[in-house]
């Protein structure tokens, strides 16, 4: 079942709507036209009690003005580009520097702050087809990019995100979603007790501005080794240079074997108090694991007036390596005419 709801009005007078999807198992997901954002995901705990497990806001203005990209689709290039510069087909492009002299999540007005078109397809597994046309020169990226993200609420209590994009001129693309999860419920406190497991054998070290150094390093003997289940808090305070620079986890973990043709299980997260269990399936090669270290920058309260606080939610942003265009040994983020950007990520919820 899908229902449409008025959410707010932009400064230019445009009304913005959200769409609520529900399945017969009781799971519900709300998606907003602004940023194509995941506003809420409600799933049961081990006692059958429902809770909203993603952070968000009650007001449109808060999505527009606050940092953090809560729930948003980010692009054209998610994550960071060093100095906002890259070369493509012999030409140097300068992108807006919105993060310590670097470009973050698409620039000054990335996909996270645009109004997406939404088409609803109701049914046993309801779908929201969220689309955007980014014109040639948008944020100084080359090429007109046509983007579609299909949100499908599966009857197995999973949310599928199918990303598709085409271009009429060679460009770079690295799309992801920036949902903030807390499986105890977004207002349940710190995330350190979540038990995580990542099928990732390497990670990307960064400099003091969180820009990749170019190295791809083994997780062996580091806090980034989640190949066996452990809590987020277990190694959080270990003396580690990469962790110190970021104030916690804010790093790209590279999946064992890299990109796959079809989505495969790559991440598991378990919150013992609620019993909620989340599995992440994807065919992307990497994931940015972010432990909410900069949530202190969020000034507005979250839904229900709950204050945002550091490490009260985490992000699992499936993607290619950050700043790939500036590192020949990284994943390829170049998209050419005639090619199709085509990736799927599935967040599946259950209890144990």
**Ranges of residues in the chain whose predicted pLDDT is under 70:** none
CATH architecture of the domain 2-351 equals Distorted Sandwich (2.70)
CB-based burial of residue 261 (10 Å sphere; 0-12 exposed, 13-18 middle, 19+ buried)? exposed
In the block, tokens 């606050």 appear at: 66
pLDDT computed for residue 67 by the predictor: 87
Contacts of 281 by beta carbon, 8 Å cutoff, 6+ apart: 263, 264, 265, 266, 344, 345, 346, 348
pLDDT computed for residue 147 by the predictor: 98
CB atoms under 10 Å from CB of 308, counted, come to 22
Model pLDDT for residues 251-275, shown as the tens digit of each residue? 999 999 999 999 999 999 999 999 9
CB atoms under 10 Å from CB of 193, counted, come to 17
Active site residues: 178, 317
In the block, tokens 């064992």 appear at: 256
Model pLDDT for residues 218-240, shown as the tens digit of each residue? 999 999 999 999 999 999 999 99
Length of the chain: 352
Residue from 94, 323, 300, 316 nearest 213 by CA: 323
Sorted by where each begins, the domain ranges of the chain are: 2-351
CA distance 148 to 133: 9
The pTM is what?
0.97
Model pLDDT for residues 186-207, shown as the tens digit of each residue? 999 999 999 999 999 999 999 9
- 162 DSSP β-pair partners: 150, 344
- 276 DSSP β-pair partners: 271, 351
């Amino acid at each position: 079942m899908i229902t449409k709801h008025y959410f707010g009005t932009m400064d230019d007078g445009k009304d913005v709507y959200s769409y609520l999807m529900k399945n017969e198992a009781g799971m519900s997901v709300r998606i907003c036209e602004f940023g194509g954002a995941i506003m809420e995901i409600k799933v049961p705990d081990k006692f059958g009690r429902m809770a909203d497990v993603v952070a968000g806001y009650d007001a449109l203005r808060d999505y527009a003005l606050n940092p953090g990209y809560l729930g948003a689709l980010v692009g054209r290039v998610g994550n960071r580009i060093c100095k906002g510069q890259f070369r493509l087909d012999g030409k140097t492009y300068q992108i807006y520097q919105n993060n310590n002299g670097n470009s973050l999540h698409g620039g000054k007005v990335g996909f996270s702050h645009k109004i997406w078109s939404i088409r609803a397809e109701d049914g046993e597994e309801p779908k929201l087809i969220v689309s955007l046309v980014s014109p040639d020169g948008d944020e100084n990226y080359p090429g007109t990019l046509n983007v579609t993200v299909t949100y499908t609420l599966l009857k197995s209590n999973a949310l599928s995100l199918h990303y598709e994009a085409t271009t009429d001129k060679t460009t770079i693309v690295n799309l992801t979603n920036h949902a903030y999860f807390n499986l105890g419920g977004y207002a349940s406190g710190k995330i350190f007790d979540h038990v995580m497991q990542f099928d990732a054998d390497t990670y990307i070290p960064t400099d003091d501005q969180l820009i990749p150094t170019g190295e791809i390093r083994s997780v062996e003997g580091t806090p980034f080794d989640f190949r066996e289940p452990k809590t987020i808090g277990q190694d959080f305070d270990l003396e580690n240079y990469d962790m110190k620079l970021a104030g916690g986890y804010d790093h790209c973990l590279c999946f064992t074997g890299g990109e796959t043709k079809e989505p495969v299980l790559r991440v598991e997260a378990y919150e013992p108090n609620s019993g909620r269990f989340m599995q992440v399936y994807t065919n992307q090669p990497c994931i940015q694991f972010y432990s909410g270290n900069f949530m202190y920058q969020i000034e507005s309260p979250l839904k229900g007036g709950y204050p945002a606080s550091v490490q009260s939610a985490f992000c699992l942003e499936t993607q290619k390596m950050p700043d790939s265009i500036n590192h020949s040994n990284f994943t390829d983020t170049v998209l050419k005419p005639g090619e199709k950007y085509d990736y799927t990520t599935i967040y599946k919820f259950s209890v144990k």
